[in-house]
Amino acid sequence: MKKKLIDGKTTSNKIKKRIAKEVAKIIDNDEKAPHLAAVLVGGDPASEFYVKSKEKACKSVGITSSVYRHSEKTTEANLLEIIDFMNNDPEIDGFIVQLPLPKHIDVDRIINRINPAKDVDGFHPMNIGKMVIGAPTYLPATPAGIMMMIKEYKIETAGKNIVVLGRSNIVGTPISIMLSRKANPGNATVTLCHSRTQNLEEITKQADIIIAAIGQAEFVKADMVKKGVVIIDVGIHRVEDKTKEKGYRITGDVAFDEVSKKASLITPVPGGVGLMTIAALLENTLKAAKKEVYR
Ligand code: GUN
């Protein structure tokens, strides 16, 4: 089977170009540029990398960005105060609290405090509820980015067997809901697999499309998939590799070299879903600035 790459770079650049045009229009109208803020607690290198990538992407489309950095020891009360400040600052159109948070902070309490109108991550229960019923809202960025890829590559989802690996609130659960909705993309028969799933290989072998979001490096192997499968790999890991100059390689939840031989379409890591996540977040920020979801 000749594999074809789903190119996140080209696709996200196309979306960013459209966003940049819309931002330029807003500024031409003498309105303020959209503003995305991020809260980063502690020094987790992956979170630091994500936040830096978001800042860079904002800059490339003319969106103002700001980052509020806080020590690992920040209290929950302090973080709630910061959120109140952002909720009330008219300069900030939307903001995110980068996850994971330190263990002493209750993530649900933090997310619940975010004004849903500024929740460009789409994590607030009100926005999740709207997503579930298909009402206009901020879609969580990674699933939204995956939907953009599916649209761009005209991947048929109606009536297809889609297997989602992983049930996180950020990716697995929302993407499984979005793809089973009566919509296009959507109308799929979705199976959501997780750590308690039995006979996983039997299920994955039936899949026309696999969305891998389990957080385990190279978990999906060639003998788990059928010929012609479409693979969307959400994972990103750094694994030791002595054959590489740096001593490591970046890889996803899928063993790319072997699985790509059987796949008809596959996302690379890096250069796939990660870039789409950022494009989707910019799109949500633009929506927030234009007050498209909440007036
Ligand atoms: N950590 C991993 N992915 C995400 C995301 O999409 N948003 C936030 N806020 N934190 C994350």
Domain ranges of the chain: 30-115, 141-274
Q: Are 276 and 11 in contact (CB under 8 A)?
A: yes
Q: Which strands make up the sheet holding 64-70, listed edge to edge?
A: 64-70, 35-41, 94-97
Pocket of ligand 1 (CB under 6 A): 96-99, 121, 141-142, 170, 277
CATH topology classification for 30-115: Rossmann fold (3.40.50)
Mutate to test the pocket of ligand 1, among 47, 55, 95, 99 (most ligand atoms within 8 A of CB): 99
Which residue among 16, 118, 119, 121 is the active-site one? 121
* Closest residue by Cα to residue 8 from 190, 145, 158: 145
**Residue minimizing CA distance to atom 8 of ligand 1:** 98
Residues with Cβ < 8 Å from 264, sequence gap 6 or more? 1, 2, 3, 4, 228, 229, 230
The one-digit pLDDT tens for each residue of the chain (295 residues) are: 555 999 999 999 999 999 999 999 999 999 999 999 999 999 999 999 999 999 999 999 999 999 999 999 999 999 999 999 999 999 999 999 999 999 999 999 999 999 999 999 999 999 999 999 999 999 999 999 999 999 999 999 999 999 999 999 999 999 999 999 999 999 999 999 999 999 999 999 999 999 999 999 999 999 999 999 999 999 999 999 999 999 999 999 999 999 999 999 999 999 999 999 999 999 999 999 999 999 8
* Closest residue by Cα to residue 143 from 104, 108, 109, 186: 186
Helix (H, G, I), strand (E, B) or coil at 141: helix
Judge: domain 141-274, CATH 3.40.50.720. Answer: yes
Mutate to test the pocket of ligand 1, among 50, 95, 138, 142 (most ligand atoms within 8 A of CB): 50
- What pTM was estimated for this model as a whole? 0.96
